[in-house]
Amino acid sequence: MKPMKICILSSEIMPYAKTGGLADVAGALIGELKARGHDVRGFMPLYRGVRDREPSMRALAELTDVGLRLGDTSYLYSVLAGNFPGTGATMYFIDCPALYDRPGFYTSDADEHRRFILFTRAALETCRRIGFGPDVFHCNDWHTGFLPLYLKTIYSGEALFERSRSLMTIHNIGYQGVMSAAALDDLGVDGIRPLIDPEDLSAGVVNALRTGLKYADVVSTVSPTYAREICATELGMGMQATLLARGEPVIGILNGVDYREWDPRHDPHLGAHFDPRDLAGKRENKRTLLGDAGLTVDPSRPLIGMVSRLAEQKGFDLLMQVLPRCLAEHDCAFVALGSGEPRYAEFLEGLVRRFPGRAAFSGRHDEAMAHLIEAGSDAFLMPSRYEPCGLNQIYSLRYGTIPIVRNTGGLADSVRHFDPGTGEGTGCVFNDYDTAAVNWAIGTTLSWYADAPLWDRLVQNAMAQDFSWSRQVAEYEALYRRESDLAAVSSSA
């Protein structure tokens, strides 16, 4: 198969910067596509601290102190190249201290939009100056939303990009990059007003994601069910008409997981390893987790785990009502790891005070703890209001930790409700977004746990699932190839 040239732009990429699943997915795609022989180039902003993680980083002479004017401000940026670990794919880090040398990857500063406008422009400029004309620019989420528009305006006469197509992947339609219409000046495109959504403009805003969805050659998202939901229901969060106007379906490709990182047979974060034939290591991880989290319940009691951004999307408004009742009624324990909105952290801290020794919470970002919760818990709770894909429920399956999930998005596409009659299924799936449904799901899962042979069957089913990237990445390859064939046809016509 002929190798393709692929640019992947993402605001976060593992192992350099991560706040959520986007980083895992972008990193895995870069590695997997390179391993399949493609010429893959990854792009990310050089946030504070990232340079220390990449010893191979080197300056590019043709991209040192490049000037770029955004509105009334002139910026200088440089581009540093590095080797993506293990694969040799090239990473380009956009170095602009005025914009990226800040305490967090994301900010609520007034120039937040400029941080990603510059990132996008700099990625295109890097390709141009090094003479790299990709078959596909793979853009991810709102941060990269202006790239398709740039390709069709500022860079439309660039011979190098004549056959380059753009793919916009939606990882979460809840984050759209809505900015004041004043940002139009920062985009640097002549005659831009008629190109921007008129309703947004009359509301005084520009929407980066909507612009990407309008101008990208193809749009995808991270599960087939979410692809349908965002076009046809309120989960499109105001983007339904924009998606329908494209006249072709949004493609849903379920995320894979990197089993080099997330497999209990060899997970480097675990003190004890295990596989479906011998679960002694899982029990040992449970004891370690109970000890580390300060939980004093008997290890035979069921332990429910969570690793999650503390955001409304993840179902915390329901959990604020459900968890106190669950701990009061059931002889079980609960452990959560996550950071985000203070109101949810306060709730979890309160839960720990109310149920000492039975509920634990850590508000850090802690990679090792995330792995230990996957390995040491019996069930994993993910009652999301919406979930484009979700990775933790897929990790949970591999660790024999039974996912309790709502029937939405990627949760619906990765977990099948267990039927004790037939012994088929991999988790507990509930439909309605309400407290009764979550209560039911937790109660049902705990009743299965009480029946050891039944639980063992469920654990075996879960651990047998395979969501490796080697399968899913072929779907991206087919999509890129389709686009590059279409480009070949249109440029020879």
Q: Are 473 and 207 in contact (CB under 8 A)?
A: no
- Of 263-271, 349-357, 386-394, 414-422, the window that binds ligand ADP (rule: CB under 6 A) is 386-394
Cα–Cα distance for residue pair 45/97, rounded to 1 Å = 10
Residue 307 lies near ligand ADP (rule: CB under 6 A): yes
**Closest distance to ligand ADP from the beta carbon of 394 (Å):** 8
Contacts with 334 (C-beta within 8 Å, 6 or more apart), sequence order: 303, 304, 305, 306, 323, 326, 327, 351, 355, 358, 359, 360
Q: How far is the CB of 337 from ligand GLC (least distance, A)?
A: 16
Residues listed for the chain: 493
* From 390, 400, 403, 427, residue interacting with ligand ADP (rule: CB under 6 A): 390
**Are the C-beta atoms of residues 384 and 363 closer than 8 Å to each other?**
no
Does 15 contact ligand ADP by CB under 6 A?
Answer: no
- Cα dihedral 225, 227, 232, 233 sign: positive
366 lies in the site for ligand ADP, by CB under 6 A: yes
Q: Shortest Cβ contact with ligand ADP: which residue?
A: 21
Which 99-118 residues touch ligand ADP, going by CB under 6 A? none
Query: Contact between 171 and ligand GLC (CB under 6 A)?
Result: yes
State which of positions 24-63 bind ligand GLC (CB under 6 A). 25
Q: Does 143 bind ligand GLC (CB under 6 A)?
A: no
- The single residue among 153, 255, 461, 484 that binds ligand GLC, judged by CB under 6 A, is 255
Strand pairing of 58-59 and 66-70? unpaired
Under rule CB under 6 A, which residues in 6-25 are in contact with ligand GLC? 20-22, 25
Name the 3-class secondary structure at 446. Answer: helix
397 binds ligand GLC (CB under 6 A): no
Stretch that binds ligand GLC, among 76-84, 100-108, 155-163, 385-393 (CB under 6 A): 385-393
Residues 224, 225, 230, 232, Cα dihedral to 10°: 110
Which of 392, 396, 461, 484 touches ligand ADP by CB under 6 A? 392
Q: Count the residues of the shown chain that bind ligand GLC, applying the rule CB under 6 A.
A: 14
Q: Which residue has the tokens 């380059």?
A: 164
* Only segment of 90-98, 347-355, 366-374, 420-428 that touches ligand ADP (CB under 6 A): 366-374
Residues 337, 352, 459, 473: which binds ligand ADP (CB under 6 A)?
337
Based on the shown chain and the rule CB under 6 A, indicate whether residue 286 belongs to the binding site for ligand GLC: no
222 binds, among ligand GLC, ligand ADP, none (CB under 5 to 8 A by kind): ligand GLC
Residue 339 found at the interface with ligand ADP (CB under 6 A): yes
Q: Which is nearer to ligand GLC, 220 or 484 (CB)?
A: 220
Q: Does 263 interact with ligand ADP (rule: CB under 6 A)?
A: no
* Peptide bond between residue 302 and the one before it cis (omega within 30 degrees of 0): no
User: Distance between CA atoms of 149 and 156, rounded to whole angstroms?
Assistant: 9
Cβ-based nearer residue to ligand GLC, 142 or 480:
142
- Choose from ligand GLC, ligand ADP, none: what does 365 bind? Cβ within 5-8 Å by kind: ligand ADP
Quote the radius of gyration of the chain (alpha carbons, Å).
23
Q: Which stretch binds ligand GLC (CB under 6 A): 41-49, 374-382, 388-396, 468-476?
A: 388-396
Share in percent of the chain as helix, strand, coil (round to 5): 45, 20, 35
Q: What is the DSSP string of 190-225?
A: TT-GGGS-HHHHHTTEEEHHHHHHHH-SEEEES-HH
Which segment (157-165, 202-210, 349-357, 389-397) binds ligand GLC by CB under 6 A?
A: 389-397
The structure tokens 């985000």 sit at: 340
Enter the tokens of residue 465.
């699932």
Residue 333 within binding range of ligand GLC, rule CB under 6 A: no
DSSP string of 50-101, one letter each residue: TGGG-TT-EE-GGGSSEEEEETTEEEEEEEEEEE-TTT--EEEEEE-HHHH-
Among 24, 229, 258, 284, binds ligand ADP (CB under 6 A): 24
90 near 41, Cβ under 8 Å?
yes
Q: What is the 3-state secondary structure (H, E, C) of 159-175?
A: HHHCCCEEEEEECCCCC
Residues that bind ligand GLC (CB under 6 A): 20-22, 25, 171-172, 222, 255, 387-391, 410
Footprint of ligand ADP (CB under 6 A): 20-22, 24, 307-309, 337-339, 365-367, 370, 389-392
